[in-house]
Amino acid sequence: MKLVVAGGGTGGHVYPGLTVVESMQQPRGEGLSQAALGSDDVLWIGGRGGMEQGLVEHAGLQFVGLPAGGLRGKAALLALRNAAQIARSIGRARDILTGFGADIVLVTGGYASVSVALAARRERLPVVIYLPDIVPGLAIRFLSRFATKVAVTNEKSYPFFRREKVVVTGYPVRPEIYHLDRDEARATLGLDPAEKTLLVMGGSRGARSINRAVVGGMRQLLSHCQIVHVSGRLDAGWVAGAGKSLPPELRQRYHHYAYLHDLPQAIVAADLVIARAGAATLGEFPAAGLASILVPYPYSGQHQLPNAEHMAESGAAQIVLDAALEQELVPAVLALLEDEETLESMGRAARSLDRLDAAQAIAEQLWLLARRTEPETGGEET
């Protein structure tokens, strides 16, 4: 089988696709005749430039970039120009698909995926969409009408799609999160194994409002826990400066990173995380049984708020709105760190949301549809 992945630009959309590919590169179980995919059997098509290309190439996969630009929230002229760019890319995407000999396309989001999915439709190739978030963006809503199947993380995504297309798979989590040991992860990061650990992260680019609130309450927080702070590169300079200004006894409890390539280590090491509510929130925190304080990004078309609400309703998270960070974040963190019972309860609630077989469920849909057969197993269908 020749698989094309049409990806999105953020880690929360790239990592699930990479995890599915990794699953399909492993030897398969009894009774399943398909051979594992080799690296030459997978082609990733994504937005030109940005972090996506680096992540994909680091995984040893072929990457082809297409020009793409967003439509949501753009000025009318820029939105029209970006729409025209997507339309012009369809022909290029068709050439890429036919040249590669594609059998099936997996779409994980992003505007670059629009031209690929439309080209696949014209080539009569099956298209499987994977939706990491609960609420789909404009691109996924549009493309779902052309998709053969739509794999979703959560049942709450049902209302956005035709029910006969939907299969609930869960969020494909990087497998190392399941295999890492907490004590070893803390040792790797230079953390005290006996201290409460707070992880602060704002997504691949960081989050300035979270960084400001944490730095503003840094001395108070560090008196109760050690902190792993992934600030993002844009804020790295002033955040690092704030860390260096701490008294020596607090400075050794503060661990700052502009970007942490081995983020699973930090996720496993933490007792509590402060984060945005991007798609990875629904998979990686449950996989680690990690309690969270979620701060939905207010300018994401409201896609993050439903993710956060789902986690909070399940008892796995608390929500602090971006506008209330300075007043509410530090007190919320301190209250949880001092309430061991609630913290453990949130961790158990997070763990209950995990779907260990998510990558395999999506992979099975791809194998079956590439053979032009109807799925018989693998996920909950309606």
- Taking only the tens place, the pLDDT of each residue in 143-198 is 999 999 999 999 999 999 999 999 999 999 999 999 999 999 999 999 999 999 99
pLDDT, mean of residues 361-368:
95
pLDDT value, residue 205: 62
Given a cut of 80, whether residue 46 has pLDDT beyond it is yes
The per-residue pLDDT for 75 is 43
> Whole-angstrom Cα distance, residue 228 to residue 324?
22
pLDDT of residue 143: 92
Residue with tokens 């959560």: 154
Angle, to 10 degrees, between the axis of helix 325-337 and the axis of helix 208-216? Answer: 60
Mean pLDDT of 41-64: 88
Domains contained in the chain, CATH given: 3-172+356-381 (3.40.50.2000), 176-352 (3.40.50.2000)
pLDDT at residue 378 in the model: 46
Residue-level pLDDT at 382: 37
Q: What percent of the chain has pLDDT over 70?
A: 86
β-strands 62-66, 254-257 pairing: unpaired
Strand ranges, E, within 224-372: 226-230, 254-257, 272-275, 291-294, 317-319
Return the pLDDT at 26.
Answer: 87
Tens of pLDDT, residue by residue over 280-325, are 899 999 999 999 999 999 876 568 999 999 999 999 999 999 999 9
User: What pLDDT was estimated at residue 74?
Assistant: 44
pLDDT at 86: 66
Residue that is written with structure tokens 């791809």 in the block? 366
Nearest to 183 by CA among 194, 196, 193, 197: 193
- Confidence band (pLDDT; 50, 70, 90) for 344? very high
Q: Residue 242: which of 222, 272, 268 has the closest Cα?
A: 222
Question: Cα(215)–Cα(325) distance, rounded to whole angstroms?
Answer: 12
pTM of this prediction exceeds 0.75: yes
19 has pLDDT over 50: yes
User: Which tens digits make up the pLDDT trace of 128-147?
Assistant: 999 999 999 888 998 999 99
pLDDT at 78 over 70: no
Instruction: Please check the confidence at residue 111 and state whether its pLDDT lies above 90.
Output: no
**Nearest in space to 242 (alpha carbons), one of 228, 254, 260:** 254
Token pair 């760019």 in the structure block, residue: 85
CA distances 191 to 247, 263, 269, Å, are 18, 14, 9
CA distance 256 to 231: 7
Q: At 289, list the tokens.
A: 């049984």
Q: What does the pLDDT read at residue 80?
A: 54
**What sign for the dihedral angle of Cα 44, 50, 55, 60?**
positive
pLDDT at 255 over 90: yes
CB 114 within 8 A of CB 139: yes
* Per-residue confidence band for 5, with pLDDT thresholds at 50, 70 and 90: very high
Q: How far apart are CA 138 and CA 144, in angstroms?
A: 10
User: How far, in Å, are 13, 299, 364 from residue 373 at the CA level?
Assistant: 27, 41, 11
The shares of helix, strand and coil residues in the chain, as percent rounded to the nearest 5, are 50, 15, 35
The span from the CA of 378 to the CA of 28, in Å, is: 14
Is 84's pLDDT higher than 80?
A: no
Q: How far is CA 60 from CA 66, 159, 258, 280, in A?
A: 19, 37, 24, 22
Q: How would residue 200 be classed by pLDDT, with cut points 50, 70 and 90?
A: very high
Asked if the model's pLDDT at residue 33 lies above 60, the reply is: no
